[in-house]
Structure 1
Amino acid sequence: MDAVEVKRSLFNQFKDYKDFVGVGIKERNGKEYVVVKLLHPDAPFKTSIPSTVGDIDVRIEVSGNILAY
């Protein structure tokens, strides 16, 4: 599974959540990873939760402020 397939899969899982902001692919040190962005009013600051899907790194970012993105 490549980053595009992971992005598509995560988008389909999160798209109906009211707190969903978006999903994208970023690159760091020549390696792609997928970012899922969520907005939650109780989050005091931007938090990043690392995970993996297969061999693709995933970061789930939660923020209480849309301007953090």
Structure 2
Amino acid sequence: MMLSTPSFARIPVHVIVNRTYGRVHVLTEPIADGCDSHQVYAPGRQVSLPGSIGAEVSLDVVDLLKAGQHRK
């Protein structure tokens, strides 16, 4: 997964819902050509975002996948 440098470099955390495979990707620690950390989470897991965002945030993968479903 590649993100363009100008848009990615200013955002410390990206949370991406992969609807095709039912996973959540968390990309952190931006560097010049992408990110230094890429974690993948499956349903049933909790995602704890890094403290660098300025708050303690935990996300439920199942809730994120439901929110990311196609709407009819």
* TM-score normalised by the chain length of structure 2: 0.27
- Bigger strand fraction: 1
* TM-score normalised by the chain length of structure 1: 0.28
